């Protein structure tokens, strides 16, 4: 009776609640998983025409899972574990298999693909009470800083639907920003959890390699690509990281979840003592003028937490070349055979990146491996002095949704679709965890964010710093939002 009364009064407000608060109500049985599935389905129907974030839905499958959780038994065996979601609706990126649900990887080659088995990470999420509502849109095979493909088209930014939401977890970021679901799964190679977070004013964390299983990847021994969560605030993000984290026998890089949950760490945050701030890694690349000004001012807010903030950058060495060497090798492993068989169905950016891999010599890869090891050692030394590294999270605000990348940055033309990603891809090479947090808006109302970088496997301290920063600014309280139409601001 209490549940029915509450739902009668608040059914249209459920999508506005945080994930943490919603799970607490689920545990108290003030609401049910099925209530949330129906609230999510209603919200998806309302906003999808404007944003195209979740083109594939599995509502009957979600309802069945919700009913199993409500019935208890085996469906609730993980209820005592960290990261228990208790029936909370989530989205899964369309690069990741969900059994019985159309999974295209954003590619015409797999336009009608329906896997019979879920990825191990999806199995973990569902075992921990996450209810999959559907698949979030992604660029083809996750390659690109703007979310579009020939199967489902373009996903739009809810702050201004004329703009991109970023990539490649663009659909996931929009799904939480608009309240379609409470949490979103994603992945990150060169910024795919961080850039969409920045463009949509959500939070996304790239965990340390091995923190979260990748399961079915053919690059099981590479630390480049990782899986991770997106959310509307840091506490929700920590909850979903708890859901995902832990050893998986199908991924040789994984390790056990920490003894203290990430949620517990965020509940009692400790501020970092020394914070390093750099706008552009010592002048290595171009940065939008508004982004530079906003982020420089925003980084100083850490002083209000009692932190010492110094402008200094690690020595990243030839990090662009290192990143592209390993990225191209990964593309070669994943895409070589597909290009041989279906070249006409693969977009040019992927062919270009794969063919770079084919042209590399073993000596070039050996050089990149040595340089990556040297960079890691320099980062270890850097973090002996500093507790946190802060940078802008993207070199520009969101750009025209019809473009695959910004045409210029601060008036300088980009060489290729990855050349504007150094802020993110450099951190990928280091193996450090990194989180995107909102820090303001540019004169055209476009979200701007900071990238916070922590020590290797230091997600707990990183999330604590992000939580304190979030509390200071309060920008998380602006979400979720209704999609807003707009125009494309003039380029720099």
Tell which wins on pLDDT, 245 or 421: 245
Does residue 6 carry a pLDDT above 70? no
**What pLDDT, in 10s, does the model give residues 54-102?**
999 999 999 999 999 999 999 999 999 999 999 999 999 999 999 999 9
The DSSP bridge pattern shows strands 447-453 and 388-392 to be: antiparallel
| CATH value at residue 465 | 3.90.1300.10
| Residue 35 pLDDT exceeds 60 | yes
What's the per-residue H, E or C state across 419-456? CCCHHHHHHHHHCCCEEEEEEEECCCCCEEEEEEECCC
What is the total count of domains within the chain? 1
Let me know if residue 488 belongs to a domain: no
Q: Does residue 486 belong to any structural domain of this protein?
A: no
423-455 pLDDT per residue, tens: 999 999 999 999 999 999 999 999 999 999 999
Query: Which residues are CB-neighbours of 220 under 8 A, at least 6 positions away?
Result: 214, 251, 252, 253
Residue 484 lies inside a defined structural domain of this protein: no
End-to-end Cα, the chain, rounded Å? 58
Predicted confidence at residue 215, as pLDDT, reads 87
Q: Is residue 205 part of a domain?
A: yes
What percentage of residues in the chain have a pLDDT greater than 70? 98
pLDDT of residue 2: 45
Q: How many helices (H) and strands (E) does the chain have?
A: 15, 17
Q: Is the pLDDT of residue 419 over 50?
A: yes
Evaluate whether 326 touches 356 at the Cβ level (below 8 Å): no
CA–CA gap between residue 169 and residue 197 (Å, rounded): 9
For 98-142, what is each residue's pLDDT tens digit? 999 999 999 999 999 999 999 999 999 999 999 999 999 999 999
Nearest to residue 125, comparing CAs of 180, 84, 162?
84
pLDDT on residue 9: 44
Q: In sequence order, what are the residues at sequence separation of 6 or more whose Cβ sits closer than 8 angstroms to the Cβ of residue 388?
A: 272, 274, 275, 276, 302, 307, 452, 453, 454, 461, 462, 465
Please check whether residue 62 lies inside any domain of the structure: yes
Average pLDDT over residues 461-490: 98
Least confident interval from 10-24, 42-56, 187-201? 10-24
Mean of pLDDT over the chain: 96
* Parent domain of 473: 2-478
Q: Is the pLDDT of residue 296 over 50?
A: yes
Phi, psi of 131 (to 5 degrees): -105, 115
CA distance 112 to 109: 8
Tokens representing residue 348 in the block: 């040019």
In the structure, what pLDDT confidence band is assigned to residue 415 with cuts at 50, 70 and 90? confident
pLDDT, residue 368, reads 98
| pLDDT band per the 50, 70, 90 thresholds, residue 8 | very low
Tokens of 92: 């899964």
The pLDDT of residue 89 is 98
Q: Above 90 in pLDDT, residue 227? A: yes
Distance CA 151, CA 103 (A): 11
pLDDT digits (tens, 9 = 90+) for 167-215: 999 999 999 999 999 999 999 999 999 999 999 999 999 999 999 999 8
How far apart are alpha carbons 341 and 272 in whole angstroms?
Answer: 51
Q: Is residue 487 part of a domain?
A: no
Burial grade of 304 (CB within 10 A; 0-12, 13-18, 19 or more): exposed
Strands (DSSP E) contained in 6-140 are 56-57, 88-93, 130-136
Ramachandran sector of residue 73 (left: φ over 0; alpha: ψ -120 to 50; beta: rest): left
User: Smallest Cα–Cα separation from 425: which of 434, 437, 416?
Assistant: 434
Rounded to 5 degrees, φ, ψ at 475 are: -70, -20
Residue given tokens 């679901």 in the structure block: 181
Residue 483 domain flag:
no
The dihedral region occupied by 112, where left means phi > 0, alpha psi between -120 and 50, and beta the remainder, is: alpha
pLDDT in tens, 301-344: 999 999 999 999 999 999 999 999 999 999 999 999 999 999 99
Q: Is the pLDDT of residue 474 over 70?
A: yes
What separation in angstroms does the CA of 311 have from each of 299, 384, 411? 10, 16, 25
In the predicted structure, residue 32 carries a pLDDT above the cut 70: yes
pLDDT of 407:
84
With beta carbons less than 8 A apart as the criterion, state whether 433 and 211 touch: yes
Q: Residue 305 — φ and ψ, nearest 5°?
A: -90, 5
pLDDT at 10 over 70: no
> Half-sphere exposure (CA, 13 Å, Cβ side) for 195?
38
Q: Quick check: is 146 in a domain? A: yes
Higher pLDDT pick, 416 / 281: 281
């Amino acid at each position: 009776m209490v549940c029915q009364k509450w739902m009668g009064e608040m059914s249209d407000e459920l999508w506005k609640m945080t994930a943490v608060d919603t799970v607490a109500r689920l545990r108290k049985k003030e609401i049910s998983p099925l209530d949330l599935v129906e609230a999510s389905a209603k919200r998806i129907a309302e906003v999808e025409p404007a944003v195209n974030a979740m083109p594939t839905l599995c509502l009957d499958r979600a309802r069945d899972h919700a009913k199993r959780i409500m019935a208890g038994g085996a469906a609730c065996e993980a209820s005592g574990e960290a990261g228990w979601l208790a029936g909370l609706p989530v989205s899964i990126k369309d690069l990741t298999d969900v059994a019985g649900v159309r999974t295209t990887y954003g590619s015409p080659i797999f336009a009608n693909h329906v896997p019979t088995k879920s990825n191990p990470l999806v199995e973990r999420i569902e075992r921990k009470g996450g209810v999959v509502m559907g698949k979030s849109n992604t660029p083809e095979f996750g390659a690109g800083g703007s979310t579009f493909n020939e199967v489902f088209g373009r996903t739009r930014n809810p702050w201004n639907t004329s703009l991109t939401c970023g990539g490649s977890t663009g659909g996931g970021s929009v799904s939480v920003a608009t309240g379609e679901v409470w949490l979103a799964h994603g992945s990150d190679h060169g910024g795919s959890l961080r850039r969409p977070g920045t463009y949509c004013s959500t939070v996304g964390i790239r965990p340390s390699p091995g923190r979260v299983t990748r399961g079915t990847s053919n690059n099981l021994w590479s630390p480049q690509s990782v899986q991770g969560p997106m959310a509307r605030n840091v506490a929700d993000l920590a909850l979903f990281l708890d859901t995902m984290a832990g050893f998986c026998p199908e991924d040789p890089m994984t390790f056990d979840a920490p003894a203290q949950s990430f949620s517990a760490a965020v509940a009692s945050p400790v501020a970092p003592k020394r914070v390093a701030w750099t706008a552009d890694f010592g002048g290595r690349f171009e940065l939008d003028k508004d982004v530079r000004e906003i982020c420089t001012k925003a980084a100083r807010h850490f002083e209000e937490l009692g932190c010492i903030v110094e402008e200094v950058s690690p020595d990243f060495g030839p990090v662009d070349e290192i990143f592209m060497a390993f990225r191209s090798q990964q593309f070669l492993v994943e895409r070589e055979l597909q290009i041989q068989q279906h070249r006409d169905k693969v977009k040019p950016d992927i062919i270009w990146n794969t063919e770079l891999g084919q042209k590399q010599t073993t000596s070039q890869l050996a050089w990149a491996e040595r340089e990556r090891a040297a960079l890691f050692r320099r980062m270890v030394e850097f973090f002996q002095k500093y507790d946190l590294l802060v940078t802008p999270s993207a070199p520009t605000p969101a750009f025209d949704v019809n473009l695959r990348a910004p045409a210029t940055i601060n008036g300088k033309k980009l060489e290729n679709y990855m050349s504007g990603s150094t802020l993110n891809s450099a951190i990928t090479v280091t193996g450090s965890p990194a989180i995107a947090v909102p820090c303001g808006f540019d004169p055209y109302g476009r979200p701007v964010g900071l990238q916070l970088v922590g020590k290797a496997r230091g997600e707990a301290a990183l999330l604590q710093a992000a939580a304190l920063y979030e509390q200071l600014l309060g920008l998380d309280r602006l979400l979720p939002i209704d999609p807003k139409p707009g125009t494309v601001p003039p380029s720099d």
